[in-house]
Amino acid sequence: MSSVLARYESFLIHNVSTISSLESSIRSLSWFLPGRFKDAELASEALVSLLNTLSLYHDTLLARIVHNDPKHKPLIPSSLHSRYTRAWCDRDSRYKWAARALQLIRFVELVVEMGLRRKTSTKTKWRCIVLLESIKAILRLVLLRVTRRPLVSPSIPEREFDPSTLPPSNTTSPTLAPSSPRSSPPSTPDHLKNNHASIPPHSLLTTPPPLSMPSPVEDYLLPKALTVSSVKAPTSLIKTLSSPKDWLAEVIYTLRPLIYAILLSRDPHSNQPLMTAIMIEILSRNLRRSPSPSSELERSEYARRDRDILWYLFRGSIWREFTRPKLEAFADKTAHIPLVNLFGSVVQAWIPLINEYYYYTAP
């Protein structure tokens, strides 16, 4: 088994650019599969879940290779999110495994729901959904307990380097034994070397030197200046939760999806789950602290949470009475318009999926 895994890792390393392009193409194709044939949504989501799980393994392997390569220098510095999550994964094994488990559940939860809907009763399906949300809530609380800081999403670092920049010829699988070093190419014989001195270009063919500096010294030094986030330790990019109010805001935000799923399992057509979730969202937003201007990562995380409020347009009575009629009217009006009807057909195919499955728009 280990030899098969080692060979796969070696194949991945030497074909990483092709595999990365294939992953991107399959993800794009999966958006157009639902509604094309029977059980197309199940095939599409199963493919995407498998692809995301493999990508998680690929990212872990490639990150290990990049970390062990002293010659690798990223063209673009890592984002604050990657610095923060990678530092916590390296610092605490509980964070690393809880974050990976949480991400893995998020990859497969929709496929699990689709399988339960086809094979079990509605009551059993909702019990399993509540169980999944309970596990996710426990994992988030573990991350919160370890870091003592507001959670970021996703909780693992994302791939930020171009896979094509990895040198496949000099990189070997961490599982395989290191291969013998390749012999260096033969040097060029002396009698074939071009040793003549180059002739300087004519003055008419060169651009004259500028009469003065095009920009002041500040324009040169400013891009090289360090920000507050650049000099902070990665685990200190977000300040710890200090007051009970901060802890309360983060805990109720963490438990919000579980509370929503429990209420929805009792009566999927009631307005109580939607209104309760919105109230918890507003309460958490009002209780949370206001980060300082230098806390860029925390500010970006709170901005993402504020944008996620728009997902309530696809939940509960707001979806049934407002958003869905608007989308259906749009699809009907564009059905006979060339090119635009392609987008309308995709919208028409996704509407039943949002009606039937919880995890398409789950918080």
Instruction: List pLDDT tens digits, range 201-232.
Output: 555 555 555 555 555 655 555 555 556 666 67
pLDDT computed for residue 21 by the predictor: 74
pLDDT at 116 over 90: yes
> Tens digit of pLDDT for each residue in 63-103?
777 777 666 666 567 889 999 999 999 999 999 999 999 99
Separation of alpha carbons 145 and 161, rounded Å: 30
R_g over Cα of the chain: 27
pLDDT computed for residue 344 by the predictor: 85
> Tens digit of pLDDT for each residue in 161-203?
655 555 554 444 444 444 444 444 455 555 555 555 555 655 5
Q: Is the pTM of this model over 0.85?
A: no
> Tens digit of pLDDT for each residue in 34-51?
655 567 778 788 888 888
- CB of 95 closer than 8 Å to CB of 147: yes
pLDDT computed for residue 251 by the predictor: 96
Percentage of the chain lying above the pLDDT 90 cut: 47
- CB of 46 closer than 8 Å to CB of 110: no
Tokens at residue 293, please?
A: 């201007």
Instruction: State the DSSP string of 70-135.
Output: TT---SSPPPHHHHHHHHHHHH-HHHHHHHHHHHHHHHHHHHHHHHHHHHS-HHHHHHHHHHHHHH
pLDDT at 9 over 50: yes
Assign 289 to helix, strand or coil: coil
pLDDT at 137 over 80: yes
pLDDT computed for residue 182 by the predictor: 45
The arithmetic mean of pLDDT across residues 290-304, rounded, is 91
| Listed residue (360, 119, 136) closest to 262, CA to CA | 136
Separation of alpha carbons 183 and 167, rounded Å: 17
The residue with greater pLDDT, 203 or 297, is: 297
pLDDT at 129 over 90: yes
pLDDT computed for residue 150 by the predictor: 95
- HSE at residue 86, side-chain half, CA atoms within 13 A, is 18
Separation of alpha carbons 240 and 149, rounded Å: 5
Separation of alpha carbons 123 and 267, rounded Å: 11
> Tens digit of pLDDT for each residue in 244-280?
999 999 999 999 999 999 999 999 889 999 999 999 9
**Per 3-state DSSP, what percentage of the chain is helix, strand, and coil (rounded to 5)?**
65, 0, 35
Which burial class, exposed, middle or buried, applies to 14 when counting CB atoms under 10 A from its CB (0-12, 13-18, 19+)?
A: middle
Average pLDDT over the chain, rounded to whole?
A: 81
pLDDT at 301 over 70: yes
- CB of 141 closer than 8 Å to CB of 254: yes
Separation of alpha carbons 176 and 71, rounded Å: 21
pLDDT computed for residue 4 by the predictor: 77
